[in-house]
Structure 1
């Protein structure tokens, strides 16, 4: 697996990897991460990946991070 790009963003850390005919787009925020796997045939260039990661995509991902945090907090409350 090799790092293709690190894309700066204020809300999340974005790292793009190439591996086994796929791009892995890893988003990190605090202790949480999301990984999206996309065939190299779906996006031809690094620039196409950046276009995919528009503000709508990032905003939706941030919402998922918030839901992940909420889910974890609820689970931790159940075991206390």
Structure 2
């Protein structure tokens, strides 16, 4: 989940964790891109805010989509 608003992060984390979903948090688009590019985690989906500091959600999504080999879980 990528969101610069701490309240949104807490609310969505509480809702999603009840279903057993493993959550990775990023506070801006650049952090999200770095997490994806690290290759340490594969993602089934990414919830992305669009208005964030450093790198907005639109730009981060474009960068991440270019690296599909790193995002999608193969489990």
User: Same fold per TM (> 0.5)?
Assistant: no
TM-score with structure 2 length normalisation? Answer: 0.29
TM-score with structure 1 length normalisation? Answer: 0.28
More strand by share: 1
More helix by share: 2
Which of structures 1 and 2 has the larger relative contact order (alpha carbons within 8 angstroms, sep 6+)? 2
Higher Rg: 1
